[in-house]
Structure 1
């Protein structure tokens, strides 16, 4: 059976030819971001990875029940006529159905637009469009379930690459799992965050109290990080007094909440640290988020020293 990417591309090509639309898309919505995953475009100039405002879209109105799945003439639908995206690009006709996850929550949409209004007979394709959307949702759900199993297998294999002191993934394990999560982001456009944590005062602890005390500090930090993180997150000791966390399928808001839990958990263990956080988006990959988070952490550490 085709995977989600292949099935999406075939479905988009079929619908665009069948309906005569200029563009059909498969999208992902997360917060107020509406990202294009796949598209068959013959005129709008939209590319995979483009991100638009979900609240401005016809699809947001469709999902909310304010507009129909098929609008042969979008100007006749008040919610679509008033939509912000309709002021930015010409949309004479629209189709759209939600793509759902296994728990019934919204993943994104299958949709299509054309600059010219279409005959009212376009509405006769309702069952077909719903069927295609349902099939894509089913394939997506099956693929994501298989992906969860694959992620568990990856974590099991990476257990050989652990830090002897803390039991966390070491740098090699971190690098390997980061590559895997990067590939998932490219497939599904599900956001992730990277948090970098650097312990404050480890050198002083080693110098004044001995390396055994320093090791105990590192182990308390590792325990706190695991306690604050979710089962699906990647927690690693990157080296020395530096740790990294990949918040999987986590947007910026969720990342800030995760970072706050980490701070509280470390404080409860009597561990002081500096933090940096960055989230993936249209232009920032997970590897780039790591660099940004690392820079933010060092900036915070410099500010502490100069205060």
Structure 2
């Protein structure tokens, strides 16, 4: 057996040692070859369920992804110490003979070992079933089975840690690209998303239009009513924008009283319609706003269209200050 342990690196592909699913399949193939048992599987325990992750040579109608009852399983009896890891004849083992899952399938022999995470938490099991009573020699395989189950536990722990790190990083990235007050993209999020869409637009020839919006009265509201009222105005403006624009359009608060929109798949005639729709929505919300827009030419840098839209916005703001509200 010690020789076998030293040759495990030959039996398991090196690449599989970095991937739980691949390692799981390799482990099952090794154990199937050594024992000849009908069905080998790895499972995950989740609450009342035992989920089949991988299996090889199923002889009992169980498939990958099937959800079995954990409470009625041989594996639970094994993990809780009510039955042995190797049952050559389950009819002689009361815990297995009375288990509900055993009555649903024609099992005569069972082998199982827990897969535990590094903190000792139960992840699942490596287990096998056979329709025939097994010889005493099968017990000699238990050290190898336990070793491979431990290896899978280490890999599962590693992958779960990586998954948590990835989730944390994704959340941090989302949070770093969101404006805390309005929930819209912030300037960083705008730069990231709009740059991506501009590249896609060039690649696929999709027209788009840039809109720059500026609240006319934010400073006055802040000065006369306080910053809480100003924040409420910003939030209201964000709600008008999100309810007016389509889901795939990019809507952001660049900072202060300035917002930006990238309307995707929007040609020149549609761009004017979007402008009119925005003006109407803000008028109905009783919010004074200046809006400038520019149809983005796919052959130029997006920032040029942003600058052009910004100039158009300031032109409207200037008209508003002069008391000319014509659009």
- TM-score normalised according to structure 1 size: 0.54
Say yes or no: does 1:124 pair with 2:140.
Answer: yes
Shift of the 21–120 alpha-carbon distance from structure 1 to 2, 3 Å rule, reads same
**Following the alignment from structure 1 to structure 2, what is the Cα–Cα distance between the partners of residues 168 and 19?**
59
**Following the alignment from structure 2 to structure 1, what is the Cα–Cα distance between the partners of residues 110 and 147?**
17
Say yes or no: does 1:35 pair with 2:67.
Answer: no
Give 5+ residue unaligned stretches, structure 2. 1-16, 190-227, 236-241, 244-327
**2:20 equivalent in structure 1:** 4
**1:56 equivalent in structure 2:** 72
How far did 1:78 drift?
A: 0.8
Shift of the 166–38 alpha-carbon distance from structure 1 to 2, 3 Å rule, reads farther
Is the partner of 1:55 in helix, strand or coil?
Answer: coil
**1:136 equivalent in structure 2:** 152
**1:17 equivalent in structure 2:** 33
**Following the alignment from structure 2 to structure 1, what is the Cα–Cα distance between the partners of residues 94 and 123?**
25
Is the partner of 2:81 in helix, strand or coil?
Answer: coil
**1:72 equivalent in structure 2:** 88
Report if aligned partners of 1:159, 1:169 keep a CA contact under 8 Å in 2.
no
How far did 1:160 drift?
A: 4.6
Shift of the 61–161 alpha-carbon distance from structure 1 to 2, 3 Å rule, reads same
Instruction: Map Cα deviations across residues 250-272 of structure 1 (whole Å, 9 max, x no partner).
Output: xxxxxxxxxxxxxxxxxxxxxxx
Shift of the 169–33 alpha-carbon distance from structure 1 to 2, 3 Å rule, reads farther
How far did 1:91 drift?
A: 0.9
**Following the alignment from structure 1 to structure 2, what is the Cα–Cα distance between the partners of residues 169 and 132?**
47
How far did 1:112 drift?
A: 0.7
- The count of corresponding residues between Structure 1 and Structure 2 is 181
Picking from 152, 159, 163, the partner of 1:147 is 163
**Following the alignment from structure 1 to structure 2, what is the Cα–Cα distance between the partners of residues 93 and 34?**
19
Give 5+ residue unaligned stretches, structure 1. 174-211, 220-238, 241-307
**Following the alignment from structure 2 to structure 1, what is the Cα–Cα distance between the partners of residues 157 and 142?**
22
When Rg is computed on C-alpha atoms for both structures, the one with the higher figure is 2
**Following the alignment from structure 2 to structure 1, what is the Cα–Cα distance between the partners of residues 19 and 184?**
33
**Following the alignment from structure 1 to structure 2, what is the Cα–Cα distance between the partners of residues 126 and 22?**
17
Is the partner of 1:35 in helix, strand or coil?
Answer: strand
Specify which structure has the bigger relative contact order, considering alpha-carbon pairs within 8 angstroms and separated by 6 or more residues. 1
How far did 1:94 drift?
A: 0.6
Matches within 5 A, 1:1-307: 1-163=17-179, 165-167=181-183
Tell me how large the CA RMSD over aligned residues is.
Answer: 2.8
Is the partner of 1:109 in helix, strand or coil?
Answer: strand
Runs of 4+ in 1 over 3 A off after TM superposition: 166-170
- TM-score normalised according to structure 2 size: 0.50
